[in-house]
Homo-oligomer: A and B are copies of this chain.
Amino acid sequence: MKSSEHGALTRNQELVYDALTDAKGPLSAYAILDGLREHGIRAPLQVYRALDKLLEFGLVHRLESLNSFVACSHPECDSRETMVFTICEKCGKVSELADKAIAGQLESLADLDHFALKAATVELRGFCQACQTASTQ
């Protein structure tokens, strides 16, 4: 379970995780690095190693199309398998959607191709609600 894992985070992991939860949006590894210099983080590897562990714990997800990272917004989502994100191309807002159905759909789609599915990345690009209404006024 996550909350117990969270308690076991090392110092660097804690720093990186806090940076991501504070940000309430995706951050690149180098943006995290810049924000943590005053806390003693000096090199990219310190950030990347912490991120690797956080990804492994399921506390953080990687946004492939943005080369950046977000804290998981589903405290109970320990699946680590299928994540769905919306990415607003105007304001940059990112939301993580919870959906069981898509995971099943992708599973059966993979089966058709005899592909043993381990993990899925779904990234949706478009406009968030706020940016839609803003552009139609």
Contacts and interface: CB of A to CB of B under 8 A. Distances in A.
Interface residues of A, number: 34
Interface stretch (A19-27, A30-38, A39-47, A97-105): A97-105
Interface stretch (A10-18, A69-77, A119-127): A119-127
Given A109-B84, A121-B122, A115 B129 contact: yes
B125 A122 contact: no
Given A64-B65, A115-B129, A97 B109 contact: yes
A135 to B, nearest CB: 10
B106 A124 contact: yes
Contacts of A102: 102, 105-106, 109
Given A97-B112, A115-B128, 16 more contacts: A64-B121, A84-B109, A86-B117, A89-B118, A95-B115, A101-B105, A102-B109, A110-B124, A114-B129, A116-B127, A117-B126, A119-B124, A120-B122, A120-B124, A121-B123, A122-B122
